Structure 1
Amino acid sequence: MVQYVDLPEIQFTVEDAADIQQNVITVYEGLTGRTLQPADPVRLFLSSLATIIVQQRVLINQTAKGNLLRYASGPLLDHMGTFQGSERLEASAAITTLQFTLSIPLSSATGIPSGTRVGAQGGDGSIYFATSEYMEIAAGATSGTVTAACSTAGTAGNGFLPDQVNVLMDQLPFVQAVTNLTASSGGATAENDDAFKERIRTAPDSYSTAGPQGAYEFWAKSTSAAILDVHAYSPAAGKVTIVPLMVGGQIPGQDVLDAVAEKLEDRGIRPLTDQVTVTAPTPISYDTTLTYYISRSRAAEVPTIQAAVTAAVAAYQLWQRSKLGRHINPSELIARVMAAGALRVVPTSPVYTALTPLQVAQEGTTTITYGGLVDD
């Protein structure tokens, strides 16, 4: 399938203001048989009309181009998605696995109601996790686990480490303690236009129920707006492995992997004979160590350039970890630092490293050294 980013620019009508103005004046002069001088009131009037025509041409181009996937945005993109059976993913809440522990084993099952709230240690209760379903601790057992979702959709619930969500806000008889077993993850803002465009473009792959690679990747991405990239492959006949990557290049936790696996269990998605496994990508660590120099002619800009270089390195690291299988490429780092204002860049690390689609680059230590001013 041809990607829309590879298509040439398109313009439905000419927007050149000087050309439109000249055409209006030429037509008038041809019809009236008189020549309009630069200060002629009629010429000035026609020039004002030409301005309105230029504005209309611009609107025509914007409206017509908005009907194409490459240029569509906002509500128009939402309408375009309905033609493919796709909807923009709403903001998703972070999830984690909670373990409830009883003070003593009981002779009967103990129910944990759906919606039971558990807050973070040291928090003020504004952000808490609520159990997603009813769970029972079997008779004679003292603990059970259940998935819980953050009360606030978005990224606010991400990053709570195991044992940090442990304040029971709804008291339950015989429940002595509760804690999260997994780091909370999966929270994301609503799907942005670029991500939604890509899902619309690949939506036709989802029409097949025979298990093609594109269909598995489409449905895996449809699990949550927090999923940035997906790679699907078959290691053996009848077996399929799905490798998702989170927004910001984060490695997905077990809760997110389970959510993707549950999504792909739908009978309309997974062929009966496919055994699907969802696994996290393998992180490949690299260090960032470089020395950069600034032109002596830009001495007055040194503080600004230093800040820009630091931002450029951070942007490079985000770019590096934002796609599965993206090779670790120091040339990209050099280009970004030079674009930030450095005259010369001497990187010690990283070195070029080829990755597979099952791997993702993850930055380690970062050492940025300013080498001083040098002559051009």
Structure 2
Amino acid sequence: MSSDLAALPRVRFVDGDAADVERNVITGYERLSGRSLAKGDPVRLFLESVAAVIVQQRELIDWAAKQNLLAYASGNYLDHLGALLGVTRLPARAAVCTVRFALSAPQTFAVLIPKGTRVSPDGALAFATDEVAVIYAGDTSTEATVTCLESGAAGNGYAAGKIDRIVDPIAYVASVVNVTASLGGSDAESDDSLRERIHLAPESFSVAGSSGAYEYWAKTAHQNVVDVSVIGPEDEPGNVYVYPLLADGGIPSSDILDLVSGVLNGEKVRPLSDRVFVKAPEAVTYRTELTYYVARSRAAAAGAIREAVERAVAEYESWQRSKLGRDVNPSELILRVMAAGVLRVEVTSPVHAVLTPSQVAIVSAESVVNFGGFEDG
């Protein structure tokens, strides 16, 4: 599906202009009654209250009608539109990681670590083992996968070594520590993400392995996948390379890549003649450094302009990393900073760079935003 929902013309099913409704109600009464209503006339005041109710009803009618359109639908209404194409909202996921349980000393018998054994980084948030783990006789440790008991992003970001408390003590087990970072937790799929997948859903009907189909199925693997590039090199017939990008420019871990690969290599997804390879995008780094100048006539607003400039820079950096293959574009940065109210701006970095569909632009250091002073406009 190539059409852009955002590019469609805006629609309105009913006119909700309050002034027009009030005028029509009052003039209609005056025409039928044969009398003119003064500003303070009780009848006029009553009709104005009636007009306000009509306006509210029209707004509700317009909103309800728009819930039948993909570009406007939200919440449960969007879920119902998705059901028409077999697309359901991805549920919240819990973060996972791998931990190592260690004994105080080797034993002559196996030590059992039950399924559901809880470990924690801080005594509050808990992870639980997914399966039974065993430390065999003569061994001192074993590894197990644990899943956060709280769905969503709360369990993400615990670096190796941070989850080190045993909530459910086990005889002979002296310590636990995570050997991989916790990741993969996410909230239920957002309306914007679900809307995009519904829009792409017809591509999934293809049995020929279209790029749109691969993009659709890749996004079903995890709700943090926000962009996908699909490349079929002409010199490698049958090979398909898929590059998923996570929210806010995140580079997918091996766990996420495995999830996507598992979906795309499903028997009912991958054409028999295709060989699908799921790879992490390449991060192309850049720095943001600029100097901006403010018109002397706006000196009193310099503080607010400074905040607006910093916000514009942050939004530019987010815009750069939100899509694969998006060229590093200093002109976009200049446009955003100028819109923040400056007189002019000099951008030292970044410089224009062309990216391939498998690359994403990521800022590599803290932005340097210099105030150059006041100038006559």
- Contact 1:99-1:180 at 8 Å conserved across structures: yes
Partner secondary structure for residue 127 of structure 2 = strand
The aligned residue for residue 202 of structure 2 is 204
- Distance apart, 1:213 and its partner CA: 2.2
**In 2 relative to 1, CA 68–305 (structure 1 residues): closer, same or farther, beyond 3 Å?**
same
Partner secondary structure for residue 165 of structure 1 = coil
**In 2 relative to 1, CA 319–83 (structure 1 residues): closer, same or farther, beyond 3 Å?**
same
Partner secondary structure for residue 299 of structure 2 = helix
Partner secondary structure for residue 363 of structure 2 = strand
The aligned residue for residue 296 of structure 1 is 296
- Contact 2:294-2:342 at 8 Å conserved across structures: yes
**CA offsets per residue over residues 256-311 of structure 1, 9 Å max, x none?**
22222233343333344443322111000000000112222222222222222222
- Contact 1:249-1:321 at 8 Å conserved across structures: yes
Q: Does 1:22 align with 2:23?
A: yes
Distance 2:303 2:274 in 1: 57
- Distance apart, 1:101 and its partner CA: 5.7
**In 2 relative to 1, CA 160–213 (structure 1 residues): closer, same or farther, beyond 3 Å?**
same
**In 2 relative to 1, CA 13–347 (structure 1 residues): closer, same or farther, beyond 3 Å?**
same
- Contact 2:161-2:179 at 8 Å conserved across structures: yes
**CA offsets per residue over residues 228-282 of structure 1, 9 Å max, x none?**
2222333433333221111221111112222222333433333444433221110
- Contact 2:30-2:37 at 8 Å conserved across structures: no
Distance 1:137 1:38 in 2: 90
**In 2 relative to 1, CA 146–245 (structure 1 residues): closer, same or farther, beyond 3 Å?**
farther
Distance 1:374 1:316 in 2: 25
- Distance apart, 1:19 and its partner CA: 2.7
Q: TM-score, normalised by structure 1?
A: 0.86
Partner secondary structure for residue 288 of structure 2 = strand
**In 2 relative to 1, CA 148–269 (structure 1 residues): closer, same or farther, beyond 3 Å?**
farther
**In 2 relative to 1, CA 98–220 (structure 1 residues): closer, same or farther, beyond 3 Å?**
farther
The aligned residue for residue 76 of structure 2 is 75
Written as runs of structure 1 = structure 2, the 5 A alignment for 1:262-281 is: 262-281=262-281
State the AA in 2 paired with 1:326. Answer: R
State the AA in 2 paired with 1:64. Answer: A
Q: Which moved more, 1:125-134 or 1:308-317?
A: 125-134
The aligned residue for residue 57 of structure 1 is 58
- Contact 1:156-1:187 at 8 Å conserved across structures: yes
Q: TM-score, normalised by structure 2?
A: 0.86
The aligned residue for residue 359 of structure 1 is 359
- Contact 1:98-1:180 at 8 Å conserved across structures: yes
Q: Which moved more, 1:260-269 or 1:353-362?
A: 260-269
Partner secondary structure for residue 222 of structure 1 = helix
Distance 1:75 1:165 in 2: 37
Q: How many residues align?
A: 372
Give the fraction of aligned pairs with identical amino acids, expressed as a percent: 50
The aligned residue for residue 184 of structure 2 is 186
**CA offsets per residue over residues 160-208 of structure 1, 9 Å max, x none?**
2233334444455666665434332222222221111111211222334
**In 2 relative to 1, CA 188–302 (structure 1 residues): closer, same or farther, beyond 3 Å?**
same
Q: Does 1:92 align with 2:90?
A: no
Written as runs of structure 1 = structure 2, the 5 A alignment for 1:108-123 is: 112-120=113-121
- Contact 2:299-2:374 at 8 Å conserved across structures: yes
- Distance apart, 1:359 and its partner CA: 0.7
**In 2 relative to 1, CA 41–260 (structure 1 residues): closer, same or farther, beyond 3 Å?**
same
Partner secondary structure for residue 368 of structure 1 = strand
- Contact 2:123-2:165 at 8 Å conserved across structures: no
**In 2 relative to 1, CA 20–108 (structure 1 residues): closer, same or farther, beyond 3 Å?**
same
Distance 2:67 2:343 in 1: 41
- Distance apart, 1:22 and its partner CA: 3.3
Written as runs of structure 1 = structure 2, the 5 A alignment for 1:260-339 is: 260-339=260-339
The aligned residue for residue 12 of structure 2 is 11
The aligned residue for residue 238 of structure 1 is 238
- Distance apart, 1:150 and its partner CA: 2.4
Q: Which moved more, 1:145-154 or 1:282-291?
A: 145-154
User: Which structure 1 segments of 5+ residues have no match?
Assistant: none
Distance 1:210 1:30 in 2: 66
Distance 2:277 2:107 in 1: 37
- Contact 1:36-1:43 at 8 Å conserved across structures: no
Distance 1:215 1:116 in 2: 40
- Distance apart, 1:67 and its partner CA: 1.6
**CA offsets per residue over residues 315-374 of structure 1, 9 Å max, x none?**
221121111112111122122222223222111000111212211111012211111222
- Distance apart, 1:138 and its partner CA: 7.7
**In 2 relative to 1, CA 344–355 (structure 1 residues): closer, same or farther, beyond 3 Å?**
same
Distance 1:102 1:276 in 2: 42
- Contact 1:95-1:255 at 8 Å conserved across structures: no
**CA offsets per residue over residues 71-111 of structure 1, 9 Å max, x none?**
11122222222222222222222222334566788898876
